[in-house]
Amino acid sequence: MGICCRLKQAAIVFAVLALAGALVVDWKIRHAPLPESLSHLPPATPVLEDLRGRPFSSPSADFARDARPARLKDFGPWLPAATVAVEDHRFFQHPGIDLISMAGASIRNLWSQRIISGASTITQQTVKLGSGRTRRTLDAKWREGFAALRLDREWTKDKILEAYLNRLDYGNRRIGPVAAAYAYFGKAPADLTFAEAVYLAGIPQSPSRLNPWRNPDKALERYKRNVARLSGKNLLPDGMTAGTLLSAPPIPGYFELPADAPHFTREAFARLRPGDTNRRSTLDLDLQQVARRIVESARKALEPLGASACGAVIVDNATGGLRAMVSSSLPQQRDVNTTTTPRSAGSTLKPFLYLEAIERRIVTAASILPDTGEAIRSTYADYDPQNYNHRFLGPVRVREALGNSLNVPAVVTLGKLGARETFAKLAAWGFSFRENFDAYGAGFILGNAEVSLVDLAGAYASLARGGEAWRATMLVGEPVVPVRCASAAASAIVSDILCDNDSRRLSFGDHSPLNLGVRVAVKTGTSSGFRDGWCVGFTREHTVAVWAGNPDGSPMNAALAVHSAAPVWNAIMQYLLASGDSPLPLPEESMGLEKRVVAGETGLLPRAGEPAVEEWFLPGTAPSVSSATMYEKRGDKEVLSLPAEYAGWCAGPQNRTGAVARAGDFQILFPKDGAVFVFNPSLPPNQQVLVPRSTDPSCEWFANGQKIEPGRFRLQPGSWTLTARSGQRERSARIRVE
């Protein structure tokens, strides 16, 4: 056999062996196992973003302080390019392994007689990171090599690069470009300069040794070496030189996520669904920071009033999203969230009472209600509500009753509506009470029921929306269930009252913090014992609610809400208005309302020359009776003539109008016939006194036939008949003292 023939045979054998080898290699590549973890994004630490996408909270997890996987497009142009240039500059040309680099590494390893370079490509490193391998062995390198070849066949280069970057450790338990860029340069990776990108690209080569916070000199030296390497390989972008990059190297900082919303963060994370890691919240960091400065400054100013804490929330009316949540307390109480802690509501629920009464056409904004000491005796015999100034105004229009936050008219209206039904309706507005109605009784409308500031703000935002209610939200896309609690027309009437500075003049004066000079709805509330001060109101765009007091429930120094919470509310509202918020528009007849002129004193059609005001009504509810029906001639003057139940007020010193009570059936207003009282033997007798009342305050009183001191009956166990005599008229009420 000639040489030529043997060469042919050898060639055939070589070809067969080469083909067999290629098939074996191909089989090994196709069947190389890929780490299962590469099939999805790496784990992330939870993170909250504000409504503009700015992260503000990311609690650490076991595997990282901050890990926020993202898409390659979110990393910007420079960091991926710098990483490829520094780590694997032939990444886009090789098939997953770089034979040139492997040959060079082999020579270096042989020369050093130890492994100093593995020549791993980005693809191989991706496989390694996905498998979690930490030990360097030859067998592992072979497996990763085949897996890298398979990965390069099945994935695009961009997908591989994305998976690699998201798994890189940048030191200080920051995993991935997003966490690294925010930690060291306070910006998103897409906003990095090329120099900053080169700086970050060098850290994963040795995250501990090149830690920018602990070893800044070593990190800077690596940056300089990488710049020189890129320059030597002509890998710098056009127009950029090594001299420029080295003359002004980047200076990393220490950037933690802002700690401006700790209480919002806690509440929002509690609302995250299982598996949620990156959620857009409703918080506006800009508003949060402004509100925080105002509240913290105000809290110090509140100390002379005996208040140690203050809370504020801002709600977007259109969406119900919480834009700010601030709770400021003394250091030892800073963990208490005053915006979610239920506290006595004061008078803040009254607008919803009157709204319901107007909606059900039981009253109008012009209806006259009694503000007297006797007005509620027939409905709530053992209830004696007082106004904060201990004065009674007599007959008042609903507008005045709500504007001045009068207590007796509110309880009278509650009696007309039904207390239990009204309490149940408040739940539809979004209020969650600690107890049921039986625990509060009728007193819930004056503030003995506890509400949270967040619930209060959410309900007022629902009023601002025209009566469509849902609870305040904290996460974008959080499901809501709208409930139509009132018509837009009735809501507009109540909102108009809350905007009316004239309607609250008798209680608050002309120049209180509630008067912003433009139409902004507002309501205050002061709880019993001055323990809580509330102020809540809204512009067209936002609702602001403020609470002031003490987290332990101790009382303030007789501070009314207008002096405690209202100035804080005023400061936040002033900022919102200056930043573009709109005052509330005037009601219009196109909203399903009717505008009428009514007498200021009676709410009826005015007499000729009588002072009159304009008022808004639901269709068909405007008065049709003249105010003249409520006046009678007394000598040469016409005086306001009121029903007999006003007799006590008319005869007293608080009668500001000179009104008189019409003659009517003489009756006992209090106590009611059949009432039962309890005598407490541990209390002094002079502290257990019953004060009976009748429609004639000048009548004489008798107990079991014996005349008693005017207006005073000392309780003693037994059955008693209290008799009131006015001239020839006589009325009796039987009571029992146990």
Q: What's the pLDDT tens digit per position in 661-670?
A: 876 667 777 7
The answer to whether position 479 is within a domain reads: yes
Quick one: which of 300, 291, 302, 303 has its CA closest to 564? 302
CATH code at position 573: 3.40.710.10
The confidence score (pLDDT) of residue 116 equals 45
Do 20 and 105 lie in a common domain? no
Do 409 and 468 lie in a common domain? yes
> Could you tell me if 544 and 526 are in contact, meaning their C-beta atoms sit under 8 angstroms apart?
no
Do 459 and 498 lie in a common domain? yes
Last residue of a domain, one of 601, 628, 661: 661
The answer to whether position 681 is within a domain reads: yes
Rounded to whole angstroms, the Cα distance separating 216 from 221 reads 9
The answer to whether position 461 is within a domain reads: yes
Do 3 and 61 lie in a common domain? no
Last residue of a domain, one of 247, 272, 304: 247
The confidence score (pLDDT) of residue 689 equals 83
Do 627 and 576 lie in a common domain? no
Alpha-carbon torsion (268, 270, 275, 277), positive or negative: positive
pLDDT < 50 stretches in the chain: 105-106, 115-116
The confidence score (pLDDT) of residue 715 equals 84
Quick one: which of 193, 229, 246 has its CA closest to 89? 229
Q: Token pair for residue 437?
A: 């109605």
The answer to whether position 279 is within a domain reads: no
> Could you tell me if 632 and 641 are in contact, meaning their C-beta atoms sit under 8 angstroms apart?
yes
Strand positions, DSSP E, 203-321: 278-280, 309-316
> Could you tell me if 281 and 50 are in contact, meaning their C-beta atoms sit under 8 angstroms apart?
yes
The confidence score (pLDDT) of residue 233 equals 86
- 378 — alpha (psi -120 to 50), left (phi > 0) or beta? alpha
Predicted confidence (pLDDT) per residue in 472-504, tens digit = 999 998 999 999 999 999 999 999 999 999 999
Rounded to whole angstroms, the Cα distance separating 230 from 387 reads 80
The answer to whether position 259 is within a domain reads: no
CA distances from 219 to 41, 60, 120 (A): 28, 24, 22
The confidence score (pLDDT) of residue 1 equals 53
The confidence score (pLDDT) of residue 581 equals 97
Quick one: which of 491, 483, 444, 443 has its CA closest to 463? 491
Q: How many residues does the chain have?
A: 738
The confidence score (pLDDT) of residue 385 equals 67
* 385-410 burial code (b ≥16 CB/10 A, e <16): bebbeeebbbbbbbbbbbbbbbbbbb
Do 505 and 375 lie in a common domain? yes
Helix axes 350-359, 419-428, angle to 10 degrees: 100
Last residue of a domain, one of 614, 636, 661: 661
Do 138 and 149 lie in a common domain? yes
Do 553 and 652 lie in a common domain? no
> How many C-beta neighbours within 10 Å does residue 438 have?
8
Report DSSP letters for 715-728, one per residue. --SEEEEEEEEETT
Q: What is the pTM of this model?
A: 0.78
- At a CB cut-off of 8 Å and minimum separation 6, what does 639 contact? 631, 632, 658, 659, 660
Do 642 and 574 lie in a common domain? no
- At a CB cut-off of 8 Å and minimum separation 6, what does 502 contact? 403
The answer to whether position 629 is within a domain reads: yes
Rounded to whole angstroms, the Cα distance separating 47 from 268 reads 11
How many domains, the chain?
A: 5
Domain holding 627, by residue range, is 590-661
The confidence score (pLDDT) of residue 348 equals 97
Q: Token pair for residue 102?
A: 């492997």
The answer to whether position 595 is within a domain reads: yes
Pairing between β-strand 660-661 and β-strand 637-642 as defined by DSSP bridges: parallel
The confidence score (pLDDT) of residue 515 equals 96
Quick one: which of 42, 74, 41, 75 has its CA closest to 61? 42
The confidence score (pLDDT) of residue 256 equals 80
The confidence score (pLDDT) of residue 16 equals 59
Do 37 and 167 lie in a common domain? yes
What's the farthest any 2 CA atoms get from each other in the chain?
Answer: 156
Checking 225-229 for CB contacts under 8 A at 24+ apart, the result is 226/82, 226/86, 226/198, 226/201, 226/202, 227/198, 229/86
The confidence score (pLDDT) of residue 90 equals 87
Rounded to whole angstroms, the Cα distance separating 522 from 507 reads 14
The answer to whether position 424 is within a domain reads: yes
Rounded to whole angstroms, the Cα distance separating 335 from 341 reads 11
- 609 — alpha (psi -120 to 50), left (phi > 0) or beta? left
Do 576 and 615 lie in a common domain? no
Do 613 and 508 lie in a common domain? no
